[in-house]
Structure 1
Amino acid sequence: MSDMLTHTAGEDSAGPVPDFPMPRAAGCPFDPPPALLNLHAETPLARVRLWDGSTPWLVTRYEDQKALLSDPRCSVDLARPGFPYSSPVFREAAKGNSPSFLNMDDPEHARIRRMVTAPFAIKRMEAMRPAVQRMTDGLIDGMLAGPKPADLVAALALPLPSLVICELLGVPYEDHEFFQRNSEVGLRRDATPEQTRESSGELLKYLMDQLDRKLADPGDDLLSELATRVASGDLPRFEAAKLGVLLLGAGHETTANMIALGTLALLEHPDQLAVVRDTDDPKVLAGAVEELLRYLSIIHVGNRRLALEDIEIGGGTIRAGEGVILPGATANWDPEYFPEPERLDVRRDARRHLTFSFGIHQCLGQPLARLELQVVYSTLLRRIPTLRLATEPARIPFKEDGLVYGTYELPVTW
């Protein structure tokens, strides 16, 4: 087993190396790709072929993924030779650029993370619940007053996270179209390096201008806290602006996709929708959100790592310098941890899912994402109990081309 698993990639005794990422099955938009599920059933470790011809390891099982996500021998540093880039854009980003907070190893990662952990603490996020509720109600008011059918993505899924992250960071909401447009480029697998450089440069310039504004006139917001770090010499202005870009983009794109895709999943499972719509128990609602996060696994290109040392795992050996891909979808659909994983069950205890990753790089904004999803699902379904799709499911355009899975549009009526 070990000899087979550590064999050089290619068409070896295990057969042809499959391409990754893999296509989803037609008519099954919520399920992980069939070929990915087959690999999970067959082996804990498999070689896969990426867009650039490289053949990193794919780790399929929940237990092994969780172990590697917390293993300091696995690096997130894009600049290391052999890193399994998800697109040409990410390979280009590694050339001559200072790394993003997301792609730093400790101790530098820990130093930066400490600066932004407090604003995302659960207690502080909970204090935002009334504001998130007001924003959600306001957007639903607008949707109800507008024409039918409505596009749930444009009417609610995109603007709500944008409103929330703007309030948290302290940037003007009237600029949301600018940063939505530019941050979306960086999440597309088909974006060229030139397009990504241009959009990243625009966002960086915008955040530098906003930081300067906060330095001159600070407020009670996250960007002002970063500006204070700049003023004290703890954080260079450029690095603070890069961190702001990251928070601005990550704070709305992932949650927006989760709002739309989760709503669609509930509409397609009326019995589960009824539980969410009718409950007044915060624990039931919180559990439903965890199950949707597990079931949908919207980061569909997997967590990426590079082995710094030889690592024994899954009955084989990942050698130092080899790339590693950890697809959350197979972990979250691992039947040993989530029985009947293909079944959406909002009363399931799904809190162990790996959608927010695990270890030192788990998602900083997960308390905020959970809060937004709890508010938006319950409010939308309670206020519009007759909500339904306004098109055939087969006509919905899904985001197969990005790092984050979701829908470009979701026509609904009531």
Structure 2
Amino acid sequence: MTASRPARMAAEFARYLRTETTGGIILLAATAVALIWANSPLREVYQAVRDFHLGPEFLHLNLSIGDWAKDGLLALFFFVAGLELKRELVVGELSRFKQAVLPVIAAVGGMVVPAVFALAVAWGSPGADRAWAIPVATDIAFALGVLALTASNLPSSARVFLLSLAVVDDLGAILVIAIVFTTGFNLVAAGVAVVALALYAFLQHKRVRTSWLYVPLALIVWVAVHSAGIHATIAGVALGLLTRVRPDEGEAESPALRLEHRLQPWSAAVAVPLFALFAAGISVSGGALGEVFTTALPLAVLIGLIGGKFVGILGASLLAVRLRIAEKPSGTGWRDIAALALLGGVGFTVSLLIADLALEGEAAELAKAAVLIASAIASLGAAALLVRRSRAHARADTGED
């Protein structure tokens, strides 16, 4: 007898969570290596490796190792995120309005309020007109890793809420990158990208399955988007959203699920940690850390991620439920959502990416230090709350007072 659809979806979500837990641990290790390496006597080696250029000048592909990690490897991460978002929208929690609307509203609140907090703190400082975007993102891998390690007894609906919120949040951050940080625009390259994406969608519609067509086509989309002046991670999201998520009759699994199975381990265990290795190598001297708390711009990032995310996610969720626009996830209380709102302050991957795009030099280094500190505070604080909430749910399940 085949498993029911809810059971299959629960098993699939458990697999996703396990992969992200492993990826989160590897990501943490890569960050530690980057910080140690960049602050050791071998710091010049780190900088030389990160800034070493390779690739053809043709189509602006002579990039540094750091840029290849940022533009190339993260495209894989966002392709997987796009696949997961498409599955949630079509067959998952986001396919039903009442369940879908709460994490969407929470994600919007978790983007707008941190941006407002950051602007309010950094108003008038050089770079504030771009740095406001740094705290809008939530890191999927890190947040799910913390959740899986600390909240085994939390209802599955709470986990789906966080996953949906983080995916929508990162999609919003990618739109911010596309709109705010697009420098120049090559219309011909953009046209090539649109045609290649349309061909990808057509092949999906016609049920073509061979990777011999899809891999070169995906590379064409990536190169065209990059050459158009749009951040190349947009290519990953677009391809993910165009991938078919419903299996045909007689088909064991849909293309989206098949691709997730194949690519998510590479995304979680290779692409994101390598990006962190070349993005997180900043100075952590006492003076630099002190500047994070005394300089307006990094302080704005810090307050935006910790305070802004918490107020935005929890406040938007409360408002949506009180106005009867949405419903709380079944079995999940407000204290659970408060803990998840604090966990939303783990910006990390996408926040580091936006810091690189928004700022330069010392300002970028201080902003990235603020992202790391805020992510550590949010993850530790949320972990403490989630452990308490997990124990409370465990007691409730066993009928203990």
From the two aligned structures, give the one with the greater strand fraction.
1
Higher relative contact order (CA 8 A, sep 6+): 2
Q: TM-score, normalised by structure 2?
A: 0.28
Q: TM-score, normalised by structure 1?
A: 0.27
From the two aligned structures, give the one with the greater helix fraction.
2
